[in-house]
């Protein structure tokens, strides 16, 4: 392998990665930005073709995004590899080695300074019928709207928990879907508790007002303490209706009604994509929402010197926090390779403010264990391998699994194409519950190891064989 020039490598083209790349480049560093998507912006700024004029209607801070994308794309010191999938990453002798596939060719790069900004994906919970075509995640619905500008269905139910449901419901309404229900599983009282923090983040209040205006225009009335607890298919196997339940504060069902719809967008916040961090053996921790995050210091540096992390993988917090973290990570990485970069108090203050807001949000939208009572023996738990709940329970009660790894290997939950990205997180909770372990007693190791995959993304056997 030939020696690489001193540079900062940034993985991820969303708010955090773009900010890191730009700030490292502005500090004088050469930057390589690697992104798995074909266009920059990440999930958050998955923008429409430029000819689509009403796009800013769909996305409040798309302008920020477009400016950032264009600044990164036009910066002479930033090289961009889009559509590049990293399949393996290792760290040895002070340098990280990334092996990736781009345009059907494997490339291997080594770098002393690496910024991980791999983002997050929708957190899902299983329920009877969640595998029926027409049931999707809010992120999935949003990328259909933003990527193609098409109405995903006629009658749409948006449900789950968290502030992300609002832009998704608003976006669906604007592209012509009838949003017949917008359901938040938690109570509005939880919001009030975090009001003082919310007021300090006035831009967010403005955002909420914007969505409320859209909902008023399209006649969408948000309801609280309600969840979709089952989905039902018609004869063609497509979504026909959902069961909407009034639920208590622990998510246990109180009363159910059936509502006809052809699309249900359901999500429960986000799960950080820590596969790359796990492959590099970075220290991770369990967050308040029982997710996993990469441990970083005040300059976004991970447990390994020279590897920085920013954005959702250091704890779910939204785009503004991601940008604040990305700026610091980019400066710190540039400084690490000898560039002149100053991380000021202001940088830290901005981040602290956004962190406080993120914390308030997480405590406003918890996922309570009562969701497990929505499942039946027939409910599919692992969609890739079509493993039913009864089979997972058999692995625990009859075959003696008491941890999710053993349950996985005995039931095949999480052994399919997605390698547990969808079901891994909630299988931990289901196995613990079945083994009589309380959620608070689940070990950090158990939750963290779910995201660890030595092969980060599938690679063709031919490319593997032909590599150096």
Partner 1 sequence: MNSPDVIVIGAGVVGASCALALTNAGLRVLIIDRGPVASGTSGAGEGNILVSDKEPSPELTLALRSRNAWFEVNEDIGGGFELDGKGGVVISRSETGIAGLKKLAKAQRENGIDAREVNAAELRKLEPHISPTIEYGVYYPQDAQCQPMLAAAQMIRAVKKRGGKFVQGENVIAINSKNGQLTGLTTNKNTYSSPIVLNATGTWAGDIAKLAGSYLPIAPRRGFILVTVPAPELIFHKVYDADYVANIASGEADLQSSAVVEGTASGTILIGASRERVGFKSEFEIPILRQLAQQAISVFPILKELQLLRAYRGFRPYAPDHLPVIGEDGNISGLWHAAGHEGAGIVLAPATAELITAEILGKTPFMDPTPFSPKRFMNQNPSAGVNVAS
Residues that bind partner 1 (CB under 8 A): 88, 90, 99, 385, 395, 398-403, 405-406, 409-410, 412, 415-417, 419, 453-455, 458-462, 464-465, 467
For tokens 């999480």, name the residue. Answer: 414
Least distance in angstroms from the C-beta of 201 to partner 1: 41
Residue closer to partner 1 by CB (options 225, 419) is 419
Residue closer to partner 1 by CB (options 180, 281) is 281
Measured between alpha carbons, how far is 134 from 365 in angstroms, rounded to an integer? Answer: 25
Least distance in angstroms from the C-beta of 79 to partner 1: 24
Q: Given CA atoms 457, 83, 23, 6 in this order, what sign does their dihedral have? A: positive
Pairing between strand 113-116 and 307-309?
parallel
Least distance in angstroms from the C-beta of 437 to partner 1: 11
Residue closer to partner 1 by CB (options 240, 385) is 385
Residue closer to partner 1 by CB (options 370, 467) is 467
In our burial notation (b when 16+ CB lie closer than 10 A, e otherwise), range 347-384 reads: beebbebbbbbbbbbbebbbbbebbbebbeeebbbbbb
Rg (CA), the chain: 22
Residue closer to partner 1 by CB (options 195, 417) is 417
Least distance in angstroms from the C-beta of 384 to partner 1: 9
Pairing between strand 263-267 and 155-160?
parallel
Measured between alpha carbons, how far is 324 from 351 in angstroms, rounded to an integer? Answer: 5
Least distance in angstroms from the C-beta of 161 to partner 1: 32
Residue 150: CB atoms within 10 Å: 11
Least distance in angstroms from the C-beta of 443 to partner 1: 12
Residue closer to partner 1 by CB (options 70, 443) is 443
3-class DSSP state of 88:
strand
Do residues 157 and 181 touch, judged by C-beta distance below 8 A? yes
């Amino acid at each position: 392998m030939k020696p690489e020039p001193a540079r900062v490598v940034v993985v991820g083209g969303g708010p955090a990665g773009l900010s890191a790349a730009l700030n490292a480049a502005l500090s004088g560093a050469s930057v390589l930005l690697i992104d798995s998507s074909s266009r920059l912006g990440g999930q958050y700024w998955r923008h429409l073709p430029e000819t689509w004029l009403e796009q800013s209607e769909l996305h409040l801070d798309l302008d920020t995004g477009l400016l950032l994308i264009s600044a990164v794309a036009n910066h002479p010191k930033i090289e961009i590899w889009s559509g590049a999938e990293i399949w393996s990453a290792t760290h040895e002798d002070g340098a990280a080695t990334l092996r990736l596939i781009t345009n059907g060719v494997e490339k291997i790069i080594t770098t002393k300074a690496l910024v991980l900004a791999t983002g997050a994906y929708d957190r899902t919970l299983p329920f009877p019928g969640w595998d029926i075509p027409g049931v999707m995640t809010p992120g999935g619905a949003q990328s259909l709207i933003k990527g193609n500008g098409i109405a995903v269905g006629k009658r749409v139910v948006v449900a789950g928990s968290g502030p992300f449901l609002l832009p998704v419901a608003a976006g669906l309404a604007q592209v012509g879907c009838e949003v017949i229900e917008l359901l938040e599983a938690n109570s509005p009282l939880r919001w009030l508790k975090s009001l003082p923090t919310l007021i300090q983040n006035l831009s967010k209040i403005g955002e909420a007002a914007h969505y409320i205006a859209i909902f008023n225009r399209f006649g969408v009335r948000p309801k609280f303490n309600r969840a979709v607890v089952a989905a039902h298919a018609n004869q063609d196997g497509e979504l026909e209706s959902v069961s909407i339940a009034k639920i208590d504060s622990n998510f246990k069902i109180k009363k159910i009604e059936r509502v006809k719809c052809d699309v249900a967008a359901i999500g429960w916040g986000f799960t950080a994509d820590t596969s790359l961090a796990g492959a590099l053996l970075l220290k991770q921790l369990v967050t308040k929402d029982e997710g996993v995050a990469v441990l970083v210091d005040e300059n976004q540096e991970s447990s390994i010197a020279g590897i920085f992390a920013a954005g959702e993988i250091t704890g779910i917090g939204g785009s503004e926090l991601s940008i604040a973290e990305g700026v610091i990570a980019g400066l710190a990485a540039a400084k690490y390779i000898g560039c002149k970069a100053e991380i000021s108090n202001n940088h830290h203050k901005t981040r602290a403010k956004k962190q406080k807001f993120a914390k308030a949000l997480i405590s406003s939208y918890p996922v309570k264990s009562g969701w497990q009572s929505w499942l039946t023996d027939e409910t599919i738990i692992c969609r890739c391998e079509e493993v039913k709940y009864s089979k997972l329970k058999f692995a625990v009660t009859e075959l003696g699994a008491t941890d999710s790894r053993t349950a996985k290997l005995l039931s095949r939950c999480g052994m399919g194409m997605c390698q547990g990205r969808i079901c891994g997180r909630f299988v931990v909770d289901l196995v613990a519950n079945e083994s009589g372990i309380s959620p608070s007693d689940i070990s950090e190791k158990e939750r963290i190891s779910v995201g660890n995959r030595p092969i980060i993304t599938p690679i063709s056997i031919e490319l593997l064989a032909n590599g150096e």
